[in-house]
Structures are given as structure tokens and as C-alpha cells.
Amino acid sequence: MSKIGKQPIPVPEGVIVEVNVKEVSVKGPKGELIKSLPRKIEAKISDGLVIVTRKDDTKASMSLHGTYRSLINNMVQGVSEGYSRQLELVGTGFRAEVSGKILSLTVGFSHPVKIEAPEGVTFKVEKSIITVEGIDKEVVGQVAASIRSVRPPEPYKGKGIKYIDEIVRRKPGKAAAKAATAV
């Protein structure tokens, strides 16, 4: 039995979970999310808990069991609390601006890079910190990754766009390597 899959999902107050044969719908104060279920996975609601089970013990259904339990848990948490990812601009002259749903990045190219927020995602910029917020964990993470991919941090000076909690491993440059061999 899957250690993650067999854990029940607690439904907080103010969140409504509806289970049909093919999909799970979660409504909360921040919005609504819908996820379709594969044929081998079932979800049931009992006593304020969502229980995810599988129909058989094939390798495919066992691998989907824990995954769909986590996805449903992320949906419940997203509509009640929401998700956010923070990125930091490191570099002289690197700027970010938000106008409506468009994030404009000035990160050393000859032109500003514009990224449009998908539905349900918002951008906030304070000094050199970009915050991506939304109710769908997957979409928030993907948008943050696409922002980071515009200018990933480089290992020599550490310049670029990095996650707040990311640690960039720095390398010594040519001068430091040359000085180390001369000694």
C-alpha cells in the first residue's frame, strides 16, 4: 500500500469537495479547481476527509495512487490558502515591472522580456523580488520556472534570476584558477 496514497486528506472549513465518477471538483474562498481522475483511481468523501483508493494492484495504478492523492491535497490547499513562489533579480540594472497581467523584465538584453500571467496567476514586484501567486500549485511553479529561465543565475558572479531559497554554487574565475596554480 502506498504510504502517501493511504493518508486521508482533511477538508478545511469553507472548502467544498465534490467527487464524480471521472473528476474531483474543489471549491474554496480563493477559487475552484477541477481534476479528472484516471479509471484506476477512485476518491470518496467521508466525515470531512477525502480518501483516495485504487481499483487494483497493478504497477500503473500503484504509481498513480500517491500521485493523485497529492494532487487532490494540493487542490484543497490551493483553494483555501493559495501558493506563491518568490524570485530574486541579482545584477546591476536588472529590473522588473508589472502592468496589469504582464511582467516586464529588464535583465541585460537589448529589449525587455514580457511574460503574460495565465488565468488565476498574479505577479507582484517589490524592489528586486518577484512574487508569483495563484491557487494551482502546478501553474504557479511553471510560471516561476519560465521567469527564471529568461536569465538563470550564472556560476561566476551569480547574476540572473533565482528563487529566493536557491543557493547558487559559485566557481572561481580564470584569475583565481591561474593564481592557485602559480603558488
The pTM of this model reads 0.89
Give domain status of residue 38, yes or no.
yes
Give domain status of residue 122, yes or no.
yes
Give domain status of residue 52, yes or no.
yes
Helices H / strands E in the chain, number of each: 3, 13
Instruction: Give the CA count within 13 Å in the CB-facing half-sphere of 69.
Output: 22
Give domain status of residue 3, yes or no.
no
pLDDT at residue 133, rounded to an integer: 97
- Average pLDDT along the chain: 93
Q: What confidence tens digit (pLDDT) does each residue in 31-67 have?
A: 999 999 999 999 999 999 999 999 999 999 998 999 9
Give domain status of residue 58, yes or no.
yes
113/1: higher pLDDT? 113
Res 71 pLDDT > 70: yes
Please state the domain count of the chain.
2
Res 183 pLDDT > 70: no
Q: Supply the DSSP symbol for 31.
A: E
Res 174 pLDDT > 90: no
Res 114 pLDDT > 90: yes
Residues 159 and 87 in one domain: yes
Q: CA 177, CA 173: separation in Å to the nearest integer?
A: 6
Q: What confidence tens digit (pLDDT) does each residue in 130-169 have?
A: 999 999 999 999 999 999 999 999 999 999 999 999 999 9
Give domain status of residue 171, yes or no.
no
Residues 97 and 156 in one domain: yes
pLDDT at residue 182, rounded to an integer: 75
Q: What's the CA angle centered on 72, arms 76 and 46, to 5 degrees? A: 80
